Amino acid sequence: GSYEPALYALNQTTGAELWKYTTVDTISGSTFEFANGNIYFTDYGYSGVTRLYAVDLTTHLLVWEYQIPFTTYASANVDDDNDIVYLNFFDQIVAFDADTGAELWSNDLEQGYITQQPTFYGDLLLIGSDRAFSAVNRFTGDLVWQHIIGTAPEIGVGASATVKDGIVYYPTKGD
């Protein structure tokens, strides 16, 4: 991304521009995910609306978009085995059909800003926020469990979690 509202695709050998997709707003803080021949990413929403885009990698055209009615950092995560795109912003996580953009479910975790991309583990999405670490069923959005970290944003989860031998590990930002 750049402060020009566009996504560029470049040849990795020559650096030549292959194509460009113009967005409504600047792409800032977005992750880029790929599935089903699409690239998924968000803009920042300086206009007052933040967007999740699904752009076809062959035609370079918009397949679908989802609009958040305010300015925010947001990021997308793709489960390409199940054709689901997860969008997290503030304390919300929303799941979409990767092909159509149809909303499958949403969950307001009510524990501060989601600070990192969720981690997939079995049927769970492991989600860190300012005040809690949560496990959500990735197919229904139902809260499975939640570990409260604290009450201040300075404490929250500092990076995405990892799982080894059935134990979830996550770092916090402070004490």
Question: What's this model's pTM, rounded to 2 decimal places?
Answer: 0.86
What whole-number distance in Å separates Cα of residue 166 and Cα of residue 175?
Answer: 25
Q: φ and ψ at 141, to 5 degrees?
A: 85, 0
Judged by DSSP in three states, 35 sits in strand
Q: Mean pLDDT of successive 10-residue segments in the chain (175 residues)? A: 80 96 87 93 90 97 95 88 92 94 94 79 88 90 88 61 81 64
What whole-number distance in Å separates Cα of residue 42 and Cα of residue 22?
Answer: 12
Q: What is the pLDDT of residue 45?
A: 87
Q: What is the pLDDT of residue 1?
A: 45
Judged by DSSP in three states, 67 sits in strand
